[in-house]
Amino acid sequence: MKKILALVLVFGMLLSFAACGGSSEATGESAAILPAPELTKDFDVNADFKIGVILLHDENSTYDLNFINAINEVKKTLGLSDEQVIMKRNIPESNDCYEAAKDLATKGCKVIFADSFGHETYMIQAAVEFPDVQFCHATGTMAHTENIANYHNAFASIYEGRYLAGIAAGMKLNELKKDGKLKGDAPVMGYVGAFTYAEVISGYTSFYLGAKSVCPDVTMKVQFTGSWYDENEEKSAAQALIASGCDLISQHADSLGAPTACEDAGVPNISYNGSTYEAGENTFIISSAINWQPYFLYIIKCANTGVAIDTDWTGSIATGSVVLSGLNQDVAAAGTKEALEAAIDDLKSGAVKVFDTEKDNYILKDGAKVTTYTADVDTDEEFTPDTEAVVEGAFKESIFRSAPYFDLQIDGITLVNSKF
C-alpha cells in the first residue's frame, strides 16, 4: 500500500511540474522576439490637423495591413478622431495616386503618406502642386535628388530583420539535416519575390546571409511573380520551388499565397510583414517586418511642432522600426530563440554587420570577396551606378538614401527568372 501511495505521489508531482511549464512540449506562437516599443505622446496635436494615407491594397494584403495597423496605433496613442485620419485603399501605381493625393490635400490634410514604390512620381507631382502640404513616401528613391522641400522618403533597415529571420531558417535547416529530412544532399531554400528590384534583392540576400551564418552549405533559389500582390502567382511560385526540391520557403510578396502553399505541402515557412501563424500553424516559423509606428508618430509630431521632416528617414532596430513576430515553438528548431537574442545583441552593438565584405566565405561573387561596388543610389532612367557602397569592410545599405540599393547577385543564390 505504501509503494502504491508513493507511486501516486510521484506521478502527481510529475503532472504538477508539467502544468507549471516543466514539460518539453511546444506551446504555439511565443511573444514577439523583437517587439514594437510602446508609443508615448509628448506633443499637442492641432485641432485642424489631418493626415491622409494612400494604400496600394487593403487589409487583405499583409503589406498594406502592416501600415493600417501602424497608423491606427498612432491614432489611438494621439487621440486622433476618424476625421483626422483618412485612408484611401486600393490606389494603384498610376495617376489614380495623384488624384487621391490631390483629394486629400483639398480636404485639409497637412501630411499625406503613400505606401508603394510605384506611387512616387505621382506623389512628387502632388507635392509640387501643394507646397504647404508634407508628402511622405515609403520605399521611394527620389527625394534626395528631386530637392522638393515638402517631399520625403522613408524606409527602415529591414535587412537586419531579414537577416534575423534567416538565422531562424538556418537553424531549421540544420535540424532537418540532423534528422535526415532534407529533400537532397544539401539544404536548399526557396524565395518568392515580387520584382527584381534592389529592395527585393537586398531583402532576399540578407535573409540568405542570415541562414548561411548558421548553416554554411545552404543555397537558395528565387522566383519572381511580377506583382506585389497576386495570391495565385505567389502560391504557384512557392509550389514550383517546393517541387524543385526546396526545404524551406520565404517571400517578399504580400499575399498568403506562399504561406498557404507551405502549409499544404508541410514545408517550413518564414513569412514577412507580420505573423501568418493562423494560416500556417504547422509550418510558420517567424516573420520580420518594418514597424511604421515610429515614422507615423515622427511625421505627425513634425507637422504639429514646426520641425522639418527628414528628406530621407531610415528606421532601425534602435528606433523600434524593425520587428520580429513571435516564434512558432511547434516548428522552430531548438535553440532558435536564444540564437536570435544573441544575434540581436550583436547587431545592436555592431559586432555583426549584415553585409560584411571582409568575412571569409560570406559575401562572394564568382568565388571572390566583394571589396568594392558602385551602387545606383541617385536613380536615373538608365540606373547608372554612381556611389561607392563598400566602406570600411561592409556594404553600407540605406545610408546614402533610405531605400535599399543593394542589387548585387552573389554566389549561392540562383534566380529562376526575373521580373522588372
Residue 82 has pLDDT above 70, yes or no: yes
All three cell numbers of 287: 516573420
In whole angstroms, what separates CA 149 from the centre of its chain? 28
The larger pLDDT score, comparing residue 195 to residue 12, is at 195
What totals of helices (H) and strands (E) does the chain contain, helices first?
A: 11, 20
pLDDT score recorded for residue 26: 65
Compute the average pLDDT of residues 163-189: 98
The residues, ordered by sequence, that sit 6+ positions from 205 with a Cβ below 8 Å of its Cβ are: 159, 355, 406, 408, 410, 413
pLDDT score recorded for residue 381: 82
Interval 243-291: pLDDT, tens = 999 999 999 998 999 999 999 999 999 999 989 999 999 999 999 999 9
Interval 294-319: pLDDT, tens = 999 999 999 999 999 999 999 999 99
pLDDT score recorded for residue 379: 83
List, in sequence order, every residue forming a beta bridge with 154; answer none if it has no partner. Answer: 138, 313
pLDDT score recorded for residue 246: 98
Interval 94-115: pLDDT, tens = 999 999 999 999 999 999 999 9
When pLDDT is cut at 50, 70 and 90, the band that residue 382 belongs to is: confident
pLDDT score recorded for residue 118: 95
When pLDDT is cut at 50, 70 and 90, the band that residue 327 belongs to is: very high
pLDDT score recorded for residue 25: 64
Compute the average pLDDT of residues 345-361: 97
Q: What percent of the chain has pLDDT over 90?
A: 91
Compute the average pLDDT of residues 76-81: 98
Q: How far apart are CA 201 and CA 182, in angstroms?
A: 26
Compute the average pLDDT of residues 65-70: 97
When pLDDT is cut at 50, 70 and 90, the band that residue 380 belongs to is: confident
3-state secondary structure of 237: helix
Average pLDDT, the chain: 93
Q: What is this structure's pTM?
A: 0.91
pLDDT score recorded for residue 407: 96
Compute the average pLDDT of residues 358-380: 95
| Angle, helix 62-78 to helix 293-305, in steps of 10 degrees | 50
Interval 158-172: pLDDT, tens = 999 999 999 999 999
Taking Cα atoms as reference points, which of 135, 133, 82, 80 lies closest to residue 108?
133
Quickly tell me which residue has 505606401 as its cell: 115
Residue 217 has pLDDT above 70, yes or no: yes
Structural domains in the chain, sorted by start: 51-157+292-315 (3.40.50.2300), 158-289+325-415 (3.40.50.2300)
Compute the average pLDDT of residues 67-76: 98
Helices (H), 229-332: 231-243, 257-265, 293-305
